[in-house]
Amino acid sequence: MTGAEAPVDWEALRTAARDAMSRAYAPYSGYKVGVAALADDGRTLVGCNVENASYGVGLCAECGLVSQLAATGGGRLTHFVCVDGEGAPLVPCGRCRQLLYEFGGPELVLETPDGFRTLDEMLPQAFGPQHLR
């Protein structure tokens, strides 16, 4: 590597998240969510929420994203976008912040309705893999 890293194409990530959101399966809440993230090798991962007639079994969009991360080779998440049904930035729920922490750690950068934030700001004093070592 020489020089600075390529700038992150946040608009491309937003587009990927909106595209995933358009395929969300949310017949019960009617609240579609899409997510997209970059992995440290440049891969783009996506996810959408997938609900279930047994309501509590429904999957947040982030569940699909971390599954795709693992299933396509693993690695670390570096940049993350979550959008609502209008395509606007959305904060990930608390459980999903924990999911993201496992694979992105405190430095993961998220786009939120209030601008860019690190996961450390969104989930302070996180419990994580470091506690189990």
12, 22, 23, 31: residue in contact with ligand THU (rule CB under 6 A): 31
* DSSP state letters, 74-133: ---EEEEEEE-TTS-B-PPPHHHHHHHHHHH-TT-EEEETTEEEEHHHHSTT---GGGG-
User: Binding string to ligand THU for residues 65 to 84, with x set by CB under 6 A, is what?
Assistant: -----------------x--
61, 77, 100, 119: residue in contact with ligand THU (rule CB under 6 A): 61
Name the one range near ligand THU by CB under 6 A: 2-10, 70-78, 91-99, 101-109. Answer: 91-99
Contacts of 3 (CB under 8 A, 6+ apart): none
Q: Does 111 bind ligand THU (CB under 6 A)?
A: no
What φ, ψ does residue 67 adopt, rounded to 5°? -65, -45
The footprint of ligand THU (CB under 6 A) covers: 26, 29, 31, 33, 49, 51, 58, 60-62, 82, 92-93, 96
